[in-house]
């Protein structure tokens, strides 16, 4: 009989804020914890490596030609992830050695777009250590647009993971009906939603997507507290003065295809919670609703998705 289950770990952790290499070390530590508990997939929050730009809304981030904002942005770029330079190679090696698939949020410094702008990217690494997709967030939310660039459809892909077809989105783009539809159309039945933190983001939409897609939904958020701001950062004292005591309190959770909680939102502390997902529940719930299958009308409405990686130039040598 074919295996119908998948063991998933949700790693709700804080970064070593704005320190790429130290945060990668933390991610590896929690990957090993997940592997020791028999997980086949572990998921981390949005922009975790090297961290979410919490300073923007607290330090007059929209002020034009601000020396403060320029300095912080420079540091952010310097600490971002360049996949082509091997910044995720250590994570890939641990994934391979432990047969552990990973979804992790990074701030990507993309050479194919000049190497100076940042993308909130959701990276999927398979159990063989290979990068399956890099999804750049389609539209940064509100103040994020001051430090993040707009992504494209290249990463709107699903991946075979045990009995499941897994795909995912970053934070508020989970609210985009057409982005979800692009994943449903590829057979997605395990949806991964990653967030910087806070239960207010995860408690409603996690169950809604589960009911809409008749799929398991894994929502993973991070933590960030004033005490997580290290002395080594530029303007560290100012960043602490303007920070809230808690800026991200977690809220990670898992909903079943019935819209019920498998793991209810959990806040306030770092944790690794583990659950076993049973694909048979997907098949049962698709009996009455399959939004890309028997309950769709492609003769009436269709979605066009451009998955080309966007660039400002095309060279012929």
- Token pair recorded at residue 201: 């983001």
The catalytic residue among 39, 40, 46, 212 is: 46
171 counts as catalytic: yes
- Residue in 137, 212, 215, 253 annotated catalytic: 137
Q: Is 29 designated active site?
A: no
Backbone phi and psi for residue 131, each to the nearest 5 degrees, phi listed first = -80, 120
User: Which residue among the candidates 39, 40, 108, 171 is catalytic per the annotation?
Assistant: 171
> Is 137 known to be catalytic?
yes
β-pair partners for 253? 219
List residues with catalytic annotation: 46, 137, 171
């Amino acid at each position: 009989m074919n295996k119908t289950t998948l063991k998933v770990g949700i790693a709700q952790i804080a970064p070593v804020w704005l320190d790429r290499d130290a945060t990668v070390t933390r991610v590896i530590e929690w990957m090993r914890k997940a592997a020791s508990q028999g997980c086949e997939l572990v998921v981390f929050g949005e922009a975790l490596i090297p961290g979410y730009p919490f300073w923007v809304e607290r330090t007059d981030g929209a002020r034009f030609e601000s020396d403060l904002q320029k300095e912080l942005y420079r540091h952010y770029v310097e600490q971002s992830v360049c996949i082509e330079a091997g910044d995720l190679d250590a994570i890939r090696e641990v994934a391979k050695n432990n047969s552990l698939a990973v979804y992790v949020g990074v701030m990507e410094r993309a050479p194919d777009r000049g190497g100076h702008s940042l993308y909130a990217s959701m990276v999927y690494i398979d159990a063989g250590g290979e990068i399956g997709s890099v999804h750049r967030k389609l539209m940064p939310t509100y103040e994020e647009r001051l430090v993040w660039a707009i992504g494209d459809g290249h990463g709107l892909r699903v991946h075979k993971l045990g009995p499941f077809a897994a795909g995912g989105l970053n934070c508020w783009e989970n609210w985009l009906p057409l982005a979800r539809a692009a994943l449903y159309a590829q057979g997605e039945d395990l949806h991964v939603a990653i967030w910087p933190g806070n239960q207010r983001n995860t408690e409603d939409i996690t169950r809604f997507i589960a009911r809409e897609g008749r799929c398991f939904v894994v929502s993973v958020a991070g933590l960030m507290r004033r005490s997580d701001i290290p002395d080594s950062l530029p303007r560290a004292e100012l960043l602490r003065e303007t920070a809230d005591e808690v800026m991200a309190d977690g809220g990670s959770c898992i909903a079943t295809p019935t819209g019920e909680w498998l793991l209810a939102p959990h806040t306030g502390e770092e944790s690794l919670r583990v659950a076993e997902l049973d694909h048979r529940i997907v098949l049962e719930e698709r009996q009455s609703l399959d939004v890309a299958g028997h309950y769709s009308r492609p003769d009436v409405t269709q979605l066009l998705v451009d998955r080309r990686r966007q660039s400002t130039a095309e060279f012929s040598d």
